[in-house]
Amino acid sequence: MTGPLRGALRVVGVGPGDPELMTLKAARILGAADVVAFFAKAGRPGHARRIVEGALNPAAEQLRLEYPFTTEVDLGDPRYLAEMGEFYERCADLLAQRLDRGCEVALLSEGDPFFYGSSMYLFDRLARDYPNEVVPGVTGMSGCWAQARLPICHGDDVFCVLPGTLDEETLTARLRGADAAVIMKVGRNLPKIRRALEAADLLTRAVFVERGTMGDERITPLAELTEGPAPYFSLVLVPGRQRAR
């Protein structure tokens, strides 16, 4: 790489919640980074930031990237795409300023960065211009099935991750085509998810996990869960058909 001195961007997966589920590599990078950037919702400390408490270089600049909104605006609303796009542009500029000064910048991502993570949108904007590295992490779903003691896929199982935002018919069809599944974005979609699982004859296998590996987790068969919206950090596990072995 020619040109002025430039630092590297490291997108770092910090795992599902338990700080011990960070990788050795993530811990090494966070202990040495000049700048630690992280997303957070208004009024919240930021989930990824909370996970790495105690692992950071004390001299590092902490760069908080606060979402303009989270669930108040629907994903289908044109305002969502436009405003989130502008937000990610501003964030990328903030990181670029530090990279241009030669700083080593670590961008935190809960779980695994490239698996539904917001940090991808900054990576996409900066990767061509700066040296970069992506540190994979343990996903939230892996943390949940480990805590629930639920082996999820075996042998030749087809495994699907489905957003709970899908319409009921599509959700049912995708569940029927899978041997094992995880349903994310549960929240207010819970009653619809339950109906789709019932239609696909999978309700009795489904397990609801809230705040997996975070110390105050809750694990319940979905069929026994009383109705009501589920919190943000929750998902539904549908383990594959255990083969006789």
**Closest CB 87 distance from a second copy, rounded Å:** 9
Per rule CB under 8 A, is residue 151 in the interface with a second copy?
A: yes
Interaction with a second copy in 114-133: which residues (CB under 8 A)?
114-117, 120-121, 123-124, 127, 132
CB neighbourhood size of 48 (10 A): 27
Task: Kindly tell me which of 28 and 218 has the beta carbon lying closer to a second copy.
Answer: 28
Q: Which of 150, 203, 219, 225 binds a second copy (CB under 8 A)?
A: 150
Binding of a second copy at residue 71 (CB under 8 A)? no
Q: Note the residue count of the chain.
A: 245
Residues 6+ apart with CB under 8 A from 163: 183, 184, 185
Tell me whether residue 57 or residue 101 sits nearer to a second copy (CB atom): 57
Chain CA centroid to CA 222, Å: 22
Alpha carbon distance, N-terminus to C-terminus of the chain:
54
What is the smallest separation between the CB atom of 19 and a second copy, expressed in angstroms? 8
Our finding on whether 112 is near a second copy (CB under 8 A) is: yes
CB of 164 to a second copy, least distance (A): 9
Secondary structure of residue 87 in the 3-state scheme: helix
- The C-alpha atoms of residue 32 and residue 209 are separated, in whole angstroms, by 34
The answer to whether 217 touches 210, Cβ cutoff 8 Å, is yes
Q: Does 160 bind a second copy (CB under 8 A)?
A: yes
CA dist 6 and 56 (Å) reads: 22
As a whole number of angstroms, the distance between CA 7 and CA 102 comes to 4
| Residues at the site binding a second copy, with contacts judged by CB under 8 A | 13, 15-16, 18-25, 27-28, 75, 81, 84-85, 88, 112-117, 120-121, 123-124, 127, 132, 134-139, 142-143, 145-147, 149-163, 165-166, 173-174, 177-178, 185, 213, 242-245
